[in-house]
Chains A and B, each alone.
Chain A
Amino acid sequence: MRRLTRKSLRVGKYSVPTLALLAVIVGSVAAAAYVVLSFTATLTVAANPKVAFVEWATSAKKNTFDYAVNIFPSVKTVDENSTYGVWNWDTAAHTAYLRIVGITNSANIQRVYLKVHDGVSTVVSVEWLSGEALPQAWTMFTAAASKKYAVWVEVTGASGAAVGSSSVVSVEMKVEAP
């Protein structure tokens, strides 16, 4: 290194330090070897996926909904047909999935049970029991063409559930070929 810094090359009548000359050459090579390709992503708004939620009162499709319910310590609260259902409004069947992704203040809750049903049979259900890991893996079901399903919600409060405090159960539904 010391020899490089001391040594100079003659370019015409000028004397140029070797290290500086090398730096210029390497810099030129590195700058040239660089390519940028580009692509565009066009995002077009679609109102709803082919399988969406449905608000029973208005028959409107929804992409999300909030469901509020009072629970009581050591008591199971059941809503066999919550205010929103699941609706495949396409003319073809779709594969869909359900999972529970999170529960806040989980000490308030002993059990959560959700199922999607058509009044006769259950197409999918997910359950969480206190002390267990959340059922975050997707549970698959097939939503038949042009069919609406009810959502059954069961929540059992823990024996020591704190009166006045709230818990939030976050549920996700995934739809293929939306």
Chain B
Amino acid sequence: MRRRLVLGIALALAGLVSVGLAALTITYFVSVMPVVVRSPVEFAVGADSVAVIDNVNKTRASVNAKIIPLALWVSSDALRIRNVNDTVLEVRLRCLGVGDPQNVIRSVKLYLVFNATSEALAVELGNGGLIVKGESDWFGMGVGAEFGVKVETEGRDGAVEGAQAVLNLGVEVRPG
């Protein structure tokens, strides 16, 4: 009889504790409502006509570069990046990935070009696509300003004609 009483009290206490714990669980509701806005920067095709803008929003682009064994291939105006925001921005170029399955790269350099006399090395790859410099510094970009992207490639000796390598690059933008 006494054991039954103890067991009954213990079960009642356990029930009370579990109800108390359940009561401590509170759910808060937060709404996240993405609104489509214009990108702060947009791509434009450079004078060398080696780039293609991939979408109507001008936020994706492809550069079709050549790479020649033991020779430099240079496009000094491959792609342009425009500040279409009404504020000063900061921009940097970053290598997000390299695919060189056929080992064609001897070196690749990408520069941010600010004007006719000023440019900065942003990304550099060495033999086989090894990342030597993965990202540039942050550079201030005034309202309406336009930066160019210069691409310089050099192929490895013996690279087979038609073989391809692909670089994925990010343009990172933050308020200036």
Partner-B contacts on A (CB < 8 A): 33-49, 52, 63-64, 178
Least CB distance from A31 to B in Å reads 10
Please judge, given known A-B contacts A38-B60, A39-B43, whether A45 and B69 are in contact too, CB under 8 Å: yes
Is B108's CB within 8 Å of the partner chain A?
Answer: yes
Nearest B residue (CB) for A34: B174
Least CB distance from B53 to A in Å reads 9
On whether the beta carbons of B172 and A40 are closer than 8 Å, the reply is no
Can you list 6 A-B pairs with a CB-CB distance of less than 8 A?
A35-B39, A39-B60, A43-B153, A43-B165, A44-B66, A178-B73
On whether the beta carbons of A45 and B43 are closer than 8 Å, the reply is no
Contacts of A48 in B (CB 8 A): 68, 71
Please judge, given known A-B contacts A63-B71, A178-B68, A178-B73, whether A41 and B151 are in contact too, CB under 8 Å: yes
Task: For the complex, give the distance between the alpha carbons of A178 and B66 in Å.
Answer: 9
Is B161's CB within 8 Å of the partner chain A?
Answer: yes
Contacts of A64 in B (CB 8 A): 70-71
B136-176 interface with A by 8 A CB criterion: 151, 153, 155, 159-175
Least CB distance from B128 to A in Å reads 13
Partner of A42, one of B64, B79, B96: B64
Contacts of A49 in B (CB 8 A): 68, 71, 73
Task: For the complex, give the distance between the alpha carbons of A52 and B162 in Å.
Answer: 18
B54-93 interface with A by 8 A CB criterion: 59-71, 73, 78-79
Task: For the complex, give the distance between the alpha carbons of A45 and B157 in Å.
Answer: 11
On whether the beta carbons of A41 and B173 are closer than 8 Å, the reply is no
Nearest B residue (CB) for A46: B66
Task: For the complex, give the distance between the alpha carbons of A45 and B100 in Å.
Answer: 11
Please judge, given known A-B contacts A34-B174, A36-B170, A36-B172, whether A41 and B65 are in contact too, CB under 8 Å: yes
Please judge, given known A-B contacts A33-B174, A34-B173, A35-B174, whether A41 and B166 are in contact too, CB under 8 Å: yes
Interface SS, A side: strand
Please judge, given known A-B contacts A35-B173, A41-B151, A178-B73, whether A46 and B43 are in contact too, CB under 8 Å: no
Is B113's CB within 8 Å of the partner chain A?
Answer: no
Contacts of B134 in A (CB 8 A): none
Partner of B169, one of A39, A47, A63: A39
Contacts of B79 in A (CB 8 A): 39
Task: For the complex, give the distance between the alpha carbons of A20 and B171 in Å.
Answer: 32
Partner of A39, one of B108, B163, B171, B175: B171
Task: For the complex, give the distance between the alpha carbons of A178 and B67 in Å.
Answer: 11
Please judge, given known A-B contacts A37-B41, A39-B63, whether A45 and B155 are in contact too, CB under 8 Å: yes
Task: For the complex, give the distance between the alpha carbons of A43 and B107 in Å.
Answer: 11
On whether the beta carbons of A45 and B162 are closer than 8 Å, the reply is yes
Is B110's CB within 8 Å of the partner chain A?
Answer: yes
Task: For the complex, give the distance between the alpha carbons of A64 and B69 in Å.
Answer: 9
On whether the beta carbons of A37 and B166 are closer than 8 Å, the reply is no
On whether the beta carbons of A38 and B166 are closer than 8 Å, the reply is no
Please judge, given known A-B contacts A33-B174, A35-B40, A45-B162, whether A40 and B70 are in contact too, CB under 8 Å: no
